[in-house]
Amino acid sequence: MKISKLYYLLLSCTILAINAVQAQNQIGIFDNNSDIGDCRIKGFSEYSVENQTYKIGGSGTNMWFGKDDFQYLWTTIQGDFILRAEVKFLGTGIDPHRKVGWIVKNNLDANSKHVNATTHGDGLTSLQYRREIGGETSEVISSDTFPDVIQLERSGNTYIMSTAKYGKEFTSVELKDMELNKAVYIGIYICSHNPEVMETAEYRNVRIIRPVDPDFTPYRDYLGSNLEIMDVVTGHRKIIYKSAHSIQAPNWTTDGKRLIYNSKGHLYNYEISSNTISPLNTGFAINNNNDHVLTFDGTLLGISNHNPDDGRTSALYYLPAEGDSIPKMVTKPGVGASYLHGWSPDNKKMVFTGNRNGAYDIYTIDIDSGKEHQLTYQPTLDDGPEYSPDGETIFFNSTRSGKMKLWKMKANGEDQTQLTFDEYNDWFPHISPDKKWIAFISFPKDIDPADHPFYKHCLLRIMPYEGGTPKVIAYIYGGQGSINVPSWSPDSKKITFVTNTKL
């Protein structure tokens, strides 16, 4: 049957109208905002596209007993999730019981069943909940006070609230056997605890994460990816690209103009000024893992490519940083797997983790002669080596003390010294170009120290170049591929990394 041009025109207009309505209602990653309950002063929610931050204002008598009043910026979701944000009240406030946080509800009614991760103006922090419609509100009080990072996670009928003052570790409380609908409303909110007063708050680094299924198979089942840039001093983060594919290991070019990341064996350029993406041509090397490293002067790009002529064993190659050239092989076939992590400042050597004689140790290799020099001799795993900008020191991670911890040694392998000592598993030390900081990723305390798995609650931390107490700079859901390669901006002010969620 022939369909008229008028039909297509009407259909197009309808689609445009629907899209226009959706665009008008959507506020950042949220669908809409609402005053829940009896709010005498109309609330508001705003989103800054430039800063990816939210400002919300609201009134309301309380969020307790059998009903709630608050301004709600919400969206909908099904299944398990992780909600995270950093929040601060704006202004000194009127009532010490004003509240901000995340709330999960079955519907938009004031008396709905809910779970509420909240902090108050007086510092009280608790996981509040209403088990029945119109029922009394109960709470699990946290020992944490005055946090500015609030995370709420659902796993089945279990809810976990984790909070921290930015830069510190999480304190967590748990609520079990709390039945809400599979499909729920989720969002951030504010309640003034005074119907005659408008309170406001700012939320930044707001993330809604859909975690991996518990039965996923690593290296077969992948989540989507967020490519992020963070200001190291302020902790402010921006998502610059979202992909349904697994993208991994971004590093910054020395001119500061682009990022290089890998996905599905290929490398890509991300032009920061224009937000454009293009393939980085590595010739026959199309089975690259996430160990690609630029020289300190930015002229050469080293890669670890799985050699099809050597049983797909990872081998080291290099080529001009702009690509479009045949990579030159550095390691010899048959010697064992080799994973690149760094260059010497004079561009003459690579430092890598090599599987030789049944153990993974750290080696350097002369790129012209292919001569290898072993630096560590451990039955346990040594990995992640990287030269300091002056070439005098190599930083790495090792399980030799029982946990995966950061170490350093002289460039010739002498004076191997441990740098981190807590219960986390620390990987991939990256030295800032100004030689002031070491950035690294810390995996949970309960994982296999020799593993750096996908899709875990991880911390990005920094410590002084000379050593000292680490400080948290980002709370992330990620792991493998998040920050495997040198990822500092040339001015040492920012880093780039990847986080994960179902998309």
How many CB atoms lie under 10 A from the CB of residue 331?
26
DSSP strands (E only) in 381-481: 382-387, 393-398, 405-410, 417-418, 425-431, 437-443, 456-464, 471-478
Q: Which of 458, 425, 454 is nearest to 217 (CA)?
A: 454
Q: What's the predicted TM-score (pTM) here?
A: 0.94
Give me the mean pLDDT over the 5-13 stretch.
48
Q: pLDDT of 227-239, one tens digit each?
A: 999 999 999 999 9
Q: Which domains does the chain have, with CATH numbers?
A: 31-209 (2.60.120.200), 224-501 (2.120.10.30)
Question: Which pLDDT does position 94 carry in this prediction?
Answer: 95
- Quick one: what percent of the chain has pLDDT higher than 90? 95
Confidence of residue 25 (pLDDT cuts 50, 70, 90): confident
What is the pLDDT averaged over residues 456-473?
98
Tell me the pairing of strands 417-418 and 405-410. Answer: antiparallel
Is residue 7 over pLDDT 80?
Answer: no
Q: What is the dihedral of CA 248, 476, 387, 401, to 10 degrees?
A: -120
C-alpha atoms less than 13 angstroms from C-alpha of 290 in its C-beta half-sphere: 25
- Looking at residue 297, what is its pLDDT? 98
Q: How far apart are CA 197 and CA 69, in angstroms?
A: 12
- How, if at all, do strands 494-501 and 224-231 pair? antiparallel
Dihedral, CA of residue 194, residue 185, residue 242 and residue 287, to nearest 10: 140
Comparing 9-23, 65-79, 124-138, the range with the smallest average pLDDT is 9-23
Provide the pLDDT for residue 24. Answer: 54
Please, which residues have CB within 8 angstroms of residue 348's CB and are 6 or more apart in sequence? 366, 367, 368
Q: What rounded mean pLDDT belongs to the chain?
A: 95
CA atoms within 13 A on the CB side of 22: 8
Rounded Cα distance between 362 and 382, Å, is 6
Q: Give the span between the Cα atoms of 366 and 350, in whole angstroms.
A: 7
Q: In what order do the strands lie in the sheet with 266-271?
A: 248-252, 258-263, 266-271, 276-280
Please answer whether residues 424 and 440 qualify as being in contact, where contact means their C-beta atoms are separated by less than 8 angstroms. Answer: no
Q: Choose among 218, 184, 189: nearest CA to 201.
A: 189
Question: Which of 10-14, 204-208, 282-286, 406-410 comes out lowest in average pLDDT?
Answer: 10-14
Report how far residue 227's alpha carbon sits from residue 46's, in angstroms, rounded to the nearest whole number.
Answer: 24
Q: Give me the mean pLDDT over the 41-66 stretch.
A: 98
349-394 pLDDT tens trace = 999 999 999 999 999 999 999 999 999 999 999 999 999 999 999 9
Determine contact, residues 130/139, Cβ cutoff 8 Å: no
Tokens of residue 134, six digits: 């119109």
- Output the pLDDT for position 5: 52
Question: If pLDDT is split at 50, 70 and 90, which confidence band does 401 have?
Answer: very high
Distance CA 146, CA 166 (A): 10
The predicted-structure confidence for 429-441, as pLDDT tens digits, reads as follows 999 999 999 999 9
pLDDT at residue 155, rounded to an integer = 98
pLDDT tens figures, 285-334: 999 999 999 999 999 999 999 999 999 999 999 999 999 999 999 999 99
What is the pLDDT at residue 201? 98
Side by side, the strands of the sheet bearing 456-464 are 425-431, 437-443, 456-464, 471-478
Quote the CA–CA distance of 266 and 130 in Å, as a whole number. 49
Alpha carbon separation from 241 to 28, 226, 277, 492 (Å, rounded): 15, 6, 10, 22
- Can you tell me the distance from the alpha carbon of 32 to that of 168, in angstroms, rounded to the nearest whole number? 32
Share of the chain above pLDDT 70, in %: 95
pLDDT per position as a tens digit, 231-275: 999 999 999 999 999 999 999 999 999 999 999 999 999 999 999
Contact residues for 16 (Cβ-Cβ < 8 A; gap 6+): none
pLDDT of res. 19:
46
Query: What is the DSSP annotation of 38-89?
Result: --SS--EEEEETTTTEEEEEE--S-EETTEE-EEEEEEEEES-EEEEEEEEE
